[in-house]
A and B are shown apart, each in its own frame.
Chain A
Amino acid sequence: GQNIDQPTEMTATEGAIVQINCTYQTSGFNGLFWYQQHAGEAPTFLSYNVLDGLEEKGRFSSFLSRSKGYSYLLLKELQMKDSASYLCAPQDSNYQLIWGAGTKLIIKP
């Protein structure tokens, strides 16, 4: 079956660094998305990885290891506005999104 596993909740301090891990099992693979979702809002696209390695975009970076079925989202210099849910969503062989339950990130001053 298809499965996504990411932590339910994480807490970090403003200005710090946090890594949100995601492991997945899918029928085929056509890339992996990370989204940020604030309560009551639509998910915002953060990153898309299809090849192994690290993709850096400002304060956010995303890493993918296809052989391990593993990805992480790295957030640096955390700001209070980064408090949100972070969704990991790989695409299977039919380009269907397989959604994780999301990680609720709480940032404390």
Chain B
Amino acid sequence: GAVVSQHPSWVICKSGTSVKIECRSLDFQATTMFWYRQFPKQSLMLMATSNEGSKATYEQGVEKDKFLINHASLTLSTLTVTSAHPEDSSFYICSARELAGGSDTQYFGPGTRLTVL
């Protein structure tokens, strides 16, 4: 099946620094990628929808200047958490949408655990 990777898998940073998380579709092209945030034992919260070559669409309540998304190619989207603070500590998960053969499937990445000190 299709594979989505994230890098890094975990990161610890100091408050005030910026962190970039990469999401890659390894064996398919994804015109659309999604970024989620997950708190312990809770549902995935959609943060934004990333479309290749255009601006991301952010969900209500998500600060676009704080969570910068760039969908640079059909296989790569990045999420940059700018000026991170401890409340940004969370598990960030991306997914990539594959449209092929009449099917519409979403594949999830393994997640990136961010800890802000």
Using a CB–CB cutoff of 8 Å, the interface residues on chain A facing chain B are 35, 37, 42-45, 48, 87, 89, 94-99, 101
Contact = CB atoms under 8 A, between A and B. Distances in A.
How large, as a class, is the contact surface on chain B?
10 to 19
Contact of B9 (A35, A43, A94): A94
Contacts, number: 40
A74 B59 CA distance: 32
B43 A42 contact: yes
Given A43-B36, A94-B10, 15 more contacts: A42-B43, A42-B44, A42-B45, A43-B44, A44-B43, A45-B41, A45-B44, A48-B41, A89-B108, A95-B10, A96-B111, A97-B93, A97-B108, A98-B110, A101-B1
Contacts of A37: 106
B41 A97 contact: no
Contacts of B45: 42
